[in-house]
Structures are given as structure tokens and as C-alpha cells.
Chain A
């Protein structure tokens, strides 16, 4: 019995998924804790306290901080989209190539938008 073997192109996507998954496991709970609990408790949001507009801009003023922020958002997006793609498959949704493009296209789009936004931030 012959079986045709086609090479899988999963590896690059799996590596991005894995990087995002590791990053999420390491720091995502802390980041959500900050935006959802610590920052709101620190004072009126947006005007004073930890989420003050000028303060956020100064936090994201260095190239390293900007790249880290964009990278965090991008890797989380690749992680989530990869899992959502496989979740759809597991639940029996036969999306085919269209679903694949939608999922990974979204991740790529989020990555680019995140990078453009963070690089366009004004310096305080």
C-alpha cells in the first residue's frame, strides 16, 4: 500500500504559536492584572494614576519598549489565531484554506498594525 507523503508547512506557524504561548504563560496574567486591577486602583484612569496619557507615552518612548510591546501583541495574536484555527477543525468546522487564511491573515494584520501604531507614537 503506497501512501503519498506531503511535507507539512506547520513548523513556522507552530514556532510562532509556541513563542506566543510561552510569553503568555510567563507574563500574561501579570499584564491583565495590571490593566484590570492595579491601574484602576491607582487613581482615576486616563487623567491621573498609572494609566495617565503622558506616563504611558514615556513608558513607550524607548525603541526597546516599543518593540517589546509590538512583539508581545504580535506573538499573542499568532498564538491565539493558531489555536483558534485548530479549535475550529476540532469542532468539525471544515473551513479549508479559507479558514487558514482568515486565521493567520488576522494574526499577520494584527502584527503589522501593532508595529505601525507603536512606532507612530509621539514622544512625550
Chain B
């Protein structure tokens, strides 16, 4: 059977159709900030290996206005990432608990944020008092 003659709009600028799409792209764009921060950490590791002088130079850059602005952006991206990640997490999990009494999304959200709090405290504790 032959298909009828049709027209179809293309996908150019599809994110303009709905604010939900722009929120999605913002969520995905947090990866750019996280990627940049990974490179900063990698450079820091390299400087640490090179010696005290190189390490001091890295520390100066981290404290410089561009370094601080970058880290402010990375912090905002990391928080946005955490919020969206935990919000969507229940969708990606298999049904938990016995049939008929499945674990509610709300329980998972609370559990995820509690875990985040504990892990963050642990990491900060190690970084501040670890040595």
C-alpha cells in the first residue's frame, strides 16, 4: 500500500517548544561544569606529584577569581545535578519491596538525601580532619 503524501516539520530548535525541554538540557549541561572540574582536579593531582612549588601554583589558581567563579558554577551545577538525579532516581530502579507493598518514591527520595548527607559529612570530615 502506498503511503499518502505528507509533510513533516523538522527538529530545528525543538527545545523552544516547551520549558520542560530547556530544563532537561540544563540538567544535561551540568556535565560540562562537572567535566571542567574533573580537569581541574586532574591538574591538581599532577601538580601535587610535581612538588610543593607546582602545588602552590595550582592552589593560587584555584583561589584566583577565575578559579573561584568556575567553582561557584560547578557547585551550582553539582547541586542541580543532585536534585535532578535524586528526583528521577525512583524511575530508574526496579520495583523494591514485596508486590502490593512497594517502596514509595517519597521514601526513596528521603533515603537518597539522607545518604547524600552522611556521605558528604564523611568526605568533608576526611578532607578536614583526615591527616
Interface residues of A (CB under 8 A from B): 18, 21-22, 24-36, 38-40, 45-47, 50-51, 53, 55-60, 69, 73, 76-77, 79-84, 86-87, 90-92, 110, 113-114, 117-118, 120-122
* A80 contact from B35, B52, B121, Cβ within 8 A: B35
Q: Are A56 and B55 in contact (CB under 8 A)?
A: yes
Residues of chain A lying within 8 A (CB to CB) of residue B79: 29
Q: What CA separation (Å) do A117 and B74 show in the bound complex?
A: 23
Interchain residue pairs A-B with the least CB separation, the first 7:
A36-B71, A83-B31, A46-B56, A80-B35, A45-B59, A30-B120, A46-B59
| Residue with the highest number of chain A CB atoms closer than 10 Å, among B31, B112, B119 | B31
* B127 contact from A59, A90, A91, Cβ within 8 A: A59
Q: What CA separation (Å) do A73 and B39 show in the bound complex?
A: 9
Secondary structure of the A side of the interface?
A: helix
Q: Are B56 and A33 in contact (CB under 8 A)?
A: no
Q: What CA separation (Å) do A29 and B34 show in the bound complex?
A: 11
Q: Are A24 and B28 in contact (CB under 8 A)?
A: no
Q: Nearest Cβ in chain A — how far from B68, in angstroms?
A: 6
Within 8 A of A (CB), among B44-102: 45-46, 48-49, 51-52, 55-60, 62-63, 67-68, 71-72, 74-75, 78-79, 81-82, 85-86, 92
Q: Determine if B110 is an interface residue (Cβ-Cβ < 8 Å).
A: no
Q: Are A59 and B131 in contact (CB under 8 A)?
A: yes
Q: Determine if B103 is an interface residue (Cβ-Cβ < 8 Å).
A: no
Q: Beyond the given A40-B62, A87-B25, A117-B49, could you list 13 further A-B residue pairs with CB under 8 A, ordered by the A residue number?
A: A26-B116, A26-B120, A30-B123, A34-B123, A36-B74, A38-B128, A45-B62, A46-B52, A50-B128, A55-B131, A56-B48, A110-B39, A114-B42
Q: Are A35 and B45 in contact (CB under 8 A)?
A: no
Q: Are B56 and A47 in contact (CB under 8 A)?
A: yes
A to B CB contacts below 8 Å, 28 in the list: A24-B78, A25-B112, A26-B82, A28-B81, A29-B120, A31-B123, A32-B37, A34-B128, A36-B62, A36-B67, A36-B71, A39-B127, A45-B56, A45-B63, A46-B56, A53-B51, A53-B56, A59-B130, A73-B42, A80-B31, A84-B32, A92-B11, A110-B38, A114-B42, A117-B45, A117-B46, A117-B48, A121-B49
